[in-house]
Structure 1
């Protein structure tokens, strides 16, 4: 059985990915509080504690799949976006991803592994009030492109979902002073299925980018 590490497994897309990988992978569940009943091995870690990542990843004997799903969002006009927001957003959404990947590269190389980066529609197009978050997601896309070029034996897939029915999205809609309408959004399980499709793609294929939009707003 292959091994996968999924960050952000505390809920939403990360938890859904853990569920779909569990039948075929030993799943390490990265997150501060893992829901009871989620299949896999809890791996509680603060991804922003960069100095601890090398020691904590030593617990994982080998690795075939690394899924970066952890992230944060704070939306506001640029004129009201604090230095703290910029730092925390970039630290979790980009720097922690880069460092966790770096320390796990030897294991991923040994397995000819696969790195999945859950990006966002904001990583393709920037809307007003989304400056800090979009900047982090554009940077995440650049990181994926560079990793793919530098590590030709590792598959690297960026996934760009539109609005998804998660607690994070509920918070975003509250900040936007709009209704939370999950029936109009992607289901986390739908995004997870696309991730599984990328991971199980035939060995001669390299799914580099997957863009998913809610059908209700596609077009």
Structure 2
């Protein structure tokens, strides 16, 4: 029996963070084009309206990953999907700096948006994911495997995200929930432009991966037949 999305009785349902640009935007567009139901998490109502206009057919939820303690309250005053096939954690923030210069505020903001927020959103969506025997995807980074100088805060948040994914995979296996971590290399996104600026380097998108390439990797993972699971995958820019 075919396991392609077109053979399904109904479209799959996806909740996506970071859908406004880069990898998240590429994923949202691809999922909508194939007829799936896409929900986009927005930081505030104004951003939700922008996303709804940019992605016709998508639905929105308002909740700020940077304020994990308020996510439960925020989603409790809305109507999230009652079933969920995939939860796609694509959003992230970055602020480079040496350990000697990073302030508690930067540490707290980075860990909230990149680690605690995704953990809390996952917790809140687990009932729907268990119901659908769904899939959680975390967009990590090479910094989640090895952090260089000036990448302490971001790298720590991404190392923590790897631990979150690994623990979640073990905990939810018996519930049929799959968990994948994708580690993209440098990709032509607004975040990468900011990184280049912080590093004092010139930005050349042509030398980086296209977000569509990372989106294709994610789609491969979530479209894999149920008898298999991609747990971790590294994606790097190809040879020039």
Q: TM-score, normalised by structure 2?
A: 0.86
Residues 23 and 211 in structure 2, CA contact (< 8 A), matched pair in contact too: yes
Q: TM-score, normalised by structure 1?
A: 0.94
What's the offset of the Cα at 1:88?
A: 0.5
Residues 108 and 154 in structure 1, CA contact (< 8 A), matched pair in contact too: yes
Query: How many aligned residue pairs are there?
Result: 217
Q: Which has the larger radius of gyration?
A: 2
Distance 2:25 2:135 in 1: 18
**1:202 alignment partner in structure 2:** 225
**1:19 alignment partner in structure 2:** 29
Distance 1:77 1:51 in 2: 30
**Structure 1: gaps of 5 or more residues:** none
Could you list the per-position Cα deviations for residues 92-111 of structure 1 after superposition, in whole angstroms to 9, with x for gaps in the alignment?
A: 10000010000110110000
What's the offset of the Cα at 1:59?
A: 2.6
Pairing 1:45–2:55 present: no
Residues 116 and 159 in structure 1, CA contact (< 8 A), matched pair in contact too: yes
Using the TM superposition, name which of 173-182 and 208-217 deviates more.
Answer: 208-217
Residues 57 and 103 in structure 1, CA contact (< 8 A), matched pair in contact too: no
Could you list the per-position Cα deviations for residues 166-207 of structure 1 after superposition, in whole angstroms to 9, with x for gaps in the alignment?
A: 111111101100011111111111100100000001111110
What's the offset of the Cα at 1:45?
A: 2.4
Distance 2:178 2:71 in 1: 26
Q: Secondary structure at the match of 2:54?
A: coil
Structure 1 runs of 4+ off > 4 angstroms?
Answer: none
Residues 71 and 121 in structure 2, CA contact (< 8 A), matched pair in contact too: no
Residues 184 and 236 in structure 2, CA contact (< 8 A), matched pair in contact too: yes
Pairing 1:29–2:40 present: yes
CA RMSD in angstroms comes to 1.5
Residues 64 and 111 in structure 1, CA contact (< 8 A), matched pair in contact too: yes
Pairing 1:98–2:119 present: yes
Distance 1:74 1:52 in 2: 23
**1:10 alignment partner in structure 2:** 20
Using the TM superposition, name which of 53-62 and 189-198 deviates more.
Answer: 53-62
**Structure 2: gaps of 5 or more residues:** 1-10
**1:132 alignment partner in structure 2:** 153
